[in-house]
């Protein structure tokens, strides 16, 4: 059997948005929480596919995408490009106040109107960042490790010395997974834990 890990293809976009939603509640399905199903994907998947598709990797055993990892080579450049090109049309489509206060949709809309910047102390030695999501049937079989290893290889080849990610401090399973892959704590900021590691094997 050939490896199910492959590069992203444009036809995967809808499936990756769906995976983002179905893992959007700290790894659990967030579908019931959102009135606009694509909202999470527009924020956490779309800009990576648009701006750095060469760093997007997909798990697909022939039945459709079941997981992915996304990356940005230069976090600061990525943030600036999103501010110029990605957020403005999204802000027009999703104005503040269009969803009930306290709803999941309202929280994500507030985020896209005031997107956080990665802390300087984090990007100083770990300028790249990544996102990874796997549907339950792909979890626990080593596929997450393979996805991240493949992305680290690409980031290293592109000249990045280090990569970081943000994870909820209240998600010990995810924190443990990343620590097992060599990530160490860089900064705790509110309920977000920034973890990083070298791109070297």
Superfamily in which the 5-118+135-160 domain is placed by CATH: Gcn5-related N-acetyltransferase (GNAT) (3.40.630.30)
pLDDT-based confidence at residue 77 (cuts at 50, 70, 90): very high
Separation of alpha carbons 173 and 179, rounded Å: 10
Judge whether residue 1 has pLDDT over 70. no
Average pLDDT over residues 113-136: 96
pLDDT in tens, 167-191: 988 888 889 999 999 999 999 998 8
Average pLDDT over residues 133-148: 90
Give the DSSP letter string of 106-137.
HHHHHHHHSPPPPPHHHHTT--EEEEEEE-GG
pTM exceeds cut of 0.85: yes
Average pLDDT over residues 44-52: 98
1/45: higher pLDDT: 45
Report which DSSP code applies to 36.
S
Average of per-residue pLDDT values in the chain: 95
């Amino acid at each position: 059997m050939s490896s199910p890990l492959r590069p992203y293809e444009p036809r995967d976009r809808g499936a990756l948005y769906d995976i983002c939603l179905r893992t959007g509640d700290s790894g659990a399905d967030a579908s019931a929480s959102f009135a606009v199903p694509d909202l999470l994907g527009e924020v956490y998947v779309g800009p990576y596919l648009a701006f750095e598709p060469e760093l997007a990797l997909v798990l697909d055993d022939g039945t459709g995408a079941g997981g992915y990892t996304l990356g940005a080579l230069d976090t600061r450049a990525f943030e600036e490009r999103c501010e110029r090109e990605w957020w403005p049309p999204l802000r027009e489509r999703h104005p503040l106040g269009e969803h009930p206060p306290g709803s999941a949709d309202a929280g994500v809309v507030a985020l896209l109107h005031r997107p956080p910047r990665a802390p300087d102390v984090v990007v100083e030695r770990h300028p790249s960042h990544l996102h990874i999501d796997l549907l339950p049937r792909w979890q626990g079989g080593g596929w997450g490790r393979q996805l991240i290893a493949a992305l680290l290889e690409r980031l290293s080849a592109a000249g990045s010395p280090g990569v970081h990610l943000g994870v909820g401090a209240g998600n010990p399973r995810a924190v443990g997974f990343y620590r097992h892959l060599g990530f160490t704590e860089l900064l705790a900021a509110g309920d977000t834990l920034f973890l990083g590691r070298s791109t070297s094997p």
